[in-house]
Amino acid sequence: MSEIPNDEGFEAFGLDARLLASVRDLEFTVPSPVQRKAIPHIIEGRDVIAQAQTGTGKTAAFGLGGLHRLRGNCGVEMLVITPTRELANQVGEAITSFGKHKGIRSVVVSGGQAYGRQMSAIRSGASVVVGTPGRLLDLLEGGRLARELAPHIVVLDEADEMLDMGFIDDIRAILSHLPSDRQTLLFSATIPEAIRKLSRDFLSDPVTVSVVPENAASTNRNIDERYHVIEESERDEATIRVIESERPEKIIIFCRTKSEVDRLATLLISRGYSAKGLHGDMEQRQRERVIADFHAGHIRVLIATDVAARGLDVRGVSHVLNFHIPMEPESYVHRIGRTGRAGARGVAVTFVTPRELRSLQAIRSQLGNTMSHRLVPTLSEIQTVRGNALLSAIRERSEDEVDANVLLETLFSELGAEQTARRLFSLLLARTRASGPERVGLFGRRLDEFLHRLEHPARPRRSGNFSRRNFRGPRRGGWYRGNASRNMWNNR
């Protein structure tokens, strides 16, 4: 079967009628590009390598295509391997939604739960198992499920993230335990060489489908990417100003360390924001509660580490903020992929200090010039935003407050209507007054110099026997030969 036309619906795939009923329940209408390209090959039983950005409908691609091929009442027929517990739970929920009319039962296996309960759930008639590498390998190598876990469809979801997290050897071991006459589906946002080698070793004559531009790595065109140039000490204030000015529906803030997550979460909560942190040192139940609150909209700001947020799929994430610029372009792609999902628009903001110039150049070099520079909002601009929010709140406020009417009548009789209004607004504005320096971030001459260096990277200059890497310089007791940049840095 070839790729279906853009204007055709899910019926054009020839999917099982019970799966189409689930598609209608979920209000899916037109397949996404990765679904149009991958589902026909999955239905035919081909091995598939699918490269697509996060949030483009990969789960429905392998979910609907794979479930179509399940016979039912044959034990575990499909295994989905994901990098994290959170993603495993989300995929498990999606599989259940897709297969409910077909009677498909799915089980999620991951760390933090008793082996016996998970094995019992699998043996009680599960057709699909979704699991994390560590727990799956334990079950297979321990002989607990060597006979029961023999699927004829295996899915590697977010393969590049599993590579980044150090699971590649576990994946190889798991695949070695499974039947060789299986269909293997590999889904990934990027395809580094290690993933290509994995596919050569374990996939049979795979079809490759891609929905990302060849020369633009994998950033989502639905995401407005911006960066602010700031000083190291200005990260907290810049974060607050971004939240204030953007008024995000939901925002994920990525930090490098667990301690930074805790510190920033405490700061934002103290400033009145509905925020919580998420990192690997938290207990599993606590992490699940935080994610559930974020899903439900009980909190608007989620501060997380890369590992904790991998595979996180939450509707309505309008913004992503990189508190530090990621060290690798691939990490940048995965981070900002939390927004702009399923065709929605998103905003990705990154903080960059002058010392992080090279990291910004690396991302631009590999992904293309996708980020635009913006100045951090000034204190005056924040105050204007707060004033407009106050006006909106007043306009939307109902007039059924009896006490308010009584107080107004008293004030009108004492001060008059105009003076009452002026004094009330003065009181409200004083309570919402923004504080801090007028400007945050680089501006003027220093900013111009930074942007010039960004667009025109410096190259080493050599003259005679002198080079920036090897030179003779003065030192107490004589001359010193060594690495120039290292010596200068050590003497700062």
Residue pair 333/370 in contact (Cβ under 8 Å)? The answer is no
Helix then strand then coil, in percent of the chain rounded to 5, is 45, 15, 40
* Domain assignment of residue 397, yes or no: no
Last residue of a domain, one of 378, 401, 429: 378
Do 182 and 127 share a structural domain?
yes
Last residue of a domain, one of 210, 245, 272: 210
* Domain assignment of residue 69, yes or no: yes
* Domain assignment of residue 279, yes or no: yes
Do 243 and 176 share a structural domain?
no
**Predicted confidence pLDDT, tens digits, the chain (492 residues):** 666 666 688 999 999 999 999 999 988 888 988 999 999 999 999 999 999 877 778 999 999 999 999 987 778 999 999 998 888 988 999 999 999 999 999 999 988 788 888 888 888 889 999 999 999 998 888 776 767 788 999 999 999 888 878 899 999 999 999 999 999 999 998 888 999 999 999 999 999 999 865 544 456 778 999 999 999 999 999 999 999 999 999 999 999 889 999 999 999 999 999 999 999 888 888 988 999 999 999 999 999 988 766 667 788 999 999 999 987 787 888 889 889 887 788 999 999 999 888 888 888 887 877 789 999 999 999 988 888 888 887 777 776 666 777 887 888 888 888 888 888 878 777 777 777 899 999 999 999 999 888 888 765 444 444 343 443 444 444 433 344 333 333 333
* Domain assignment of residue 487, yes or no: no
* Domain assignment of residue 170, yes or no: yes
* Domain assignment of residue 425, yes or no: no
* Domain assignment of residue 1, yes or no: no
Do 186 and 106 share a structural domain?
yes
Last residue of a domain, one of 189, 210, 231: 210
Do 321 and 186 share a structural domain?
no
Burial class from Cβ neighbours inside 10 Å (0-12, 13-18, 19+) for residue 445 reads: exposed
Do 255 and 206 share a structural domain?
no
Do 229 and 122 share a structural domain?
no
Do 364 and 266 share a structural domain?
yes
Do 329 and 195 share a structural domain?
no
* Total of domains in the chain: 2
Do 372 and 281 share a structural domain?
yes
Do 247 and 130 share a structural domain?
no
**Closest by Cα among 90, 69, 21, 15 to 312:** 90
Interatomic CA distance for residues 71 and 98, integer angstroms: 15
- Expressed as residue numbers, the domain containing 134 is 10-210
Interatomic CA distance for residues 266 and 232, integer angstroms: 19
Do 205 and 164 share a structural domain?
yes
CATH code, 75? 3.40.50.300
